Amino acid sequence: MSDTLQSLAAIVGPKGFIPEAEARDWKAGPWPGLNTRAARAVLRPASTQEVSAILKVCHEKGQRVVPAGGLTGLVHGTDSAADEIVLSLERMNHILEIDPTGRTMTVEAGVPLQTIQEAADQAGMFFPLDLGARGSATIGGNIATNAGGNRVIRYGMTRELILGLEAVLADGTVLSHLNTLLKNNAGFDLKQLFIGTEGSLGVVTRAVLRLFEKPRSQTAALVAASDFEGVTRLLKHMDQALGGQLTAFEVMWSDVYEVFTTPPANNRPPLPHGHAFYVLVESMGGDPEADAARFEKGLDGALAQGMIADAALAASLDQVHKFWAIRDDVVQFIRYGSFITFDVSLPIRAMETYVAEVKARMAERFPGSVMGTFGHLGDCNLHFVACPRTEDPAARASVEAIVYAPLAAIKGSVSAEHGIGLEKKAYLPLSRTPEEIATMQRLKSALDPKGILNRGKVIDMAAAESLY
């Protein structure tokens, strides 16, 4: 073992050190192929002090480090090379404090999101961040990716849910600001450097989360609309009718709804096939009876005004979960062979034309291809599941160009919520100006002058070139 590895092994002890030979099999992410892992070792520190000591050694030796949470990221942000070290936060998995009066929870970075949700619930509180990978994704990974998920329309992205943060810089310096105050304008808000920067500026070790009062009602309906205008009118109508209680507005184009509700999918269609759009609308509030009445009145109004053609109101919480199970069943696209998922953002008013253009170009370039569309429409966020149905290795680049190229002109974003990682790095100039990318490079140089943290992810240190 090299001197560097010996020093690192001594910091974490036998429980925290996984040698090169076992690194590849250490832990699989949920989606095969996302975490191609060759590494000199996996380090599993148990404290901020250990993370700091590790990074101090790595900084001195120029040893590259890849921070890792639950490995559910979808943009190859945790891929590692044979000369890199993986720094896993999985042993830093403790909830440190819950304060129902101050409405905060203080946690270590390796706590899984679902554990946090459940702990908040047991304390009579609510942590609103929610996404399909909740069982494996860690709060450190959620912070590093500024995860979005299902309730952004009401509670915002992860950034809005973080009050305080502790992170360790590349040279081992600990920046600890475990602020619990909702208002704190004392100086620069340094935590923002580590939220959504995908582990390239520092390693998140602890965080103070913002909790909310637990909603006492959860009401949902699946509705069908015959045109996109009806969908956008419905969004404004329900938001107004629910008086701030709208928690989700998830739209499925008919192609997606049919795949998610046709065998071999497990779920049956609550509304018949044949409509152009299906929308899962959800609200949460504090008065079950009044909330249900308000929700129903809103839906009746939408039907009366012709925004929607049909509606299925969830009769129980179990049915609410069934609607969500339909919406989350992306893996059903495997029936068309390998697929590529996309996560883009664009103004709602540009969506209909953009989707039609992307689908037309896909059909022209890949006859017989399948292109499913769905998304958190209220958040301006669309997902595509693209199945080009060809073994051609160049297909991926062609599909990416079809999806990403139109975004620059309509001021869209190549990443709404999954981040950039390795997968979208080449497309970043479509969404950010050269000056913005140059500023990101300056920040990276200032905080990680030797470029040891997640090197080559998000941005390159060489000047970025324009793509199109």
Nearer to ligand FAD, 7 or 200 (CB): 200
Residues 194-233 that bind ligand FAD (CB under 6 A): 198-199, 203-204
Residue of closest CB approach to ligand FAD? 141
CB contact at 8 A, 300 and 246: no
Of positions 71, 116, 235, 395, contacts ligand FAD by CB under 6 A? 71
**Residue 165, interface with ligand FAD (CB under 6 A)?**
no
Residue closer to ligand FAD, measured from CB, 413 or 454? 454
Residue 104: CB minimum distance to ligand FAD, A: 19
CB closer to ligand FAD, 201 vs 241: 201
Considering the complex, what minimum distance in angstroms separates the CB of residue 43 from ligand FAD? 13
> Considering only CA atoms, which of 232, 332, 337 is closest in space to residue 277?
232
Among 16, 45, 73, 298, binds ligand FAD (CB under 6 A): 73
Structure tokens that stand for 141 in this block? 């990974």
Q: Is omega for the bond preceding 270 within 30 degrees of 0, making it cis?
A: no
Regarding 156 and contact with ligand FAD (CB under 6 A), the answer is: no
The order of strands in the sheet holding 95-99 is: 95-99, 104-108, 203-210, 162-168, 174-177
Between 144 and 407, CB nearer to ligand FAD: 144
Phi, psi of 168 (to 5 degrees): -110, 125
Interface residue with ligand FAD among 7, 48, 63, 72 (CB under 6 A) is 72
Among the listed ranges 208-216, 276-284, 356-364, 416-424, the one in contact with ligand FAD (CB under 6 A) is 416-424
CB burial of 42-81 (b: ≥16 within 10 Å; e: otherwise) equals bbbbbebebbbbbbbbbbebebbbbbbbbbbbbbbbbbbe
Q: Where are the alpha helices (DSSP H) in 18-81?
A: 20-23, 48-61
Give the Cα-Cα-Cα angle 160, 163, 169 (nearest 5 degrees). Answer: 105
Which position among 109, 235, 256, 399 is part of the footprint of ligand FAD (CB under 6 A)?
109
Site string for ligand FAD, 5-44 (x = CB under 6 A): -------------------------xx-------------
- Contact status: 418 vs ligand FAD (CB under 6 A): yes
Residue 345 interacting with ligand FAD (CB under 6 A):
no
Member of 7, 48, 52, 78 binding ligand FAD (CB under 6 A): 78
Asked whether the beta carbons of 43 and 8 are under 8 A apart, the reply is yes
CA distance 73 to 69: 9
- Among 18, 53, 58, 133, the residue binding ligand FAD under the rule CB under 6 A is 133
Beta bridge partners of 106: 97, 208
Paired sense of beta strands 41-43 and 85-88, if any: parallel
Handedness of CA 193, 199, 200, 202 (dihedral sign): positive
Q: Considering only residues 9, 38, 123, 131, which one is a binding residue for ligand FAD as defined by CB under 6 A? A: 131
Q: Closer to ligand FAD at the Cβ: 43 or 133?
A: 133
How many residues touch ligand FAD under the rule CB under 6 A: the total is 37
H or E element that contains 297: helix 288-304
What are the phi and psi torsion angles at 218 (to 5°)? -140, 115
Q: Taking a C-beta distance cutoff of 8 angstroms, is the pair 336, 372 a contact?
A: no
Q: Which of 54, 86, 89, 165 binds ligand FAD (CB under 6 A)?
A: 89
| Minimum CB distance to ligand FAD, residue 418 (Å) | 5
Chain residues that interact with ligand FAD, rule: CB under 6 A: 30-31, 66-74, 77-78, 89, 109, 131-133, 137-138, 140-142, 144-145, 147-149, 198-199, 203-204, 417-418, 421, 454, 457
